[in-house]
Amino acid sequence: MVPVNQDWPVADLDPVRRMRVLAAATPGAAYAEKLIPAPFSAVWETASDLEHELPRMITDLRSFEITSTRGERLTARARGRLGQHARFDVVLRPGWCVMQSRFLIGGMAAAPDGAGTRFAFLGGLRLPGIRLLDPALRPAAQSLALRPIRRLERRLQAR
């Protein structure tokens, strides 16, 4: 006889590991991770303030306005530096944020790692045929995805 179900070990997948899965499954995605030397609560408090912090992290973004909130589900209106705008569907909860518009996808994830926080950033385009460009885009995309994380890190250091 084998012990009851609840005694069996269960593998837990933290938000950063989940974001790695989304990144691997998203053709052409820009994805990067970095260990930020700040506690999870401080990192996520800043990162999850989408209206104020997202335009600081993504410099092409002029504003990001939350237009509705229903639990973890949000909608937002984003405006770019060139005047373009898009409606985003967003899922936001502690350590986890994914969003998409008609043409763009994005995500952030955070998990405690020692005394610091592992932070992940994902960005990409929803375009037909992007899968074909994936091998060419990946290497450059990683350095692009690191920039918003570095901006977040500088913002946290300045506080």
Partner 1 sequence: MAPMTRPPDIDPALVRAAQHGDQIAMADLMDALAPYVGRVCGPIALHDGPDAAQEALIVIFTNLAGLREPAAIYGWARAIAVREAVRVARKAARAVPAELADVPAPGDPQLAADVRDVLARLTPEHRAVLVLRDLEGLDEQATGALLAVPAATVRSRLFRARRSFRKAWSR
Contact residues toward partner 1 (CB under 8 A) are: 1-3, 5, 7-14, 17-18, 20-22, 24-26, 89, 91, 96, 98-100, 105, 107, 126
As a whole number of angstroms, the distance between CA 33 and CA 98 comes to 15
CB of 109 to partner 1, least distance (A): 10
Q: Locate 155 and state its tokens.
A: 């913002």
Q: Rounded to the nearest whole angstrom, what is the least distance from the CB of residue 119 to partner 1 in the complex?
A: 17
Query: Are 86 and 104 within 8 A, CB to CB?
Result: yes
**DSSP string of 72-120?**
TEEEEEEEETTS-EEEEEEEEETTEEEEE-SSEEEEEEEEEETTEEEEE
Nearer to partner 1, 14 or 45 (CB): 14
Name which of 26 and 117 has its Cβ closer to partner 1: 26
Minimum separation from the CB atom of position 104 to partner 1 (A):
9
Q: How far apart are CA 124 and CA 65, in angstroms?
A: 20
- Nearer to partner 1 (CB atom), residue 90 or residue 156: 90
Smallest gap from Cβ 159 to partner 1, in A, equals 29
Is the sign of the CA dihedral 15, 44, 141, 131 positive or negative? positive
- Reduced to 3 states (helix: H, G, I; strand: E, B; else coil), residue 129 is coil
The least distance separating partner 1 from the CB of residue 140, rounded to whole angstroms, comes to 21
- Of 57 and 105, nearer to partner 1 (C-beta) is 105
Taking the least distance from each CB to partner 1, the nearer of 24 and 136 is 24
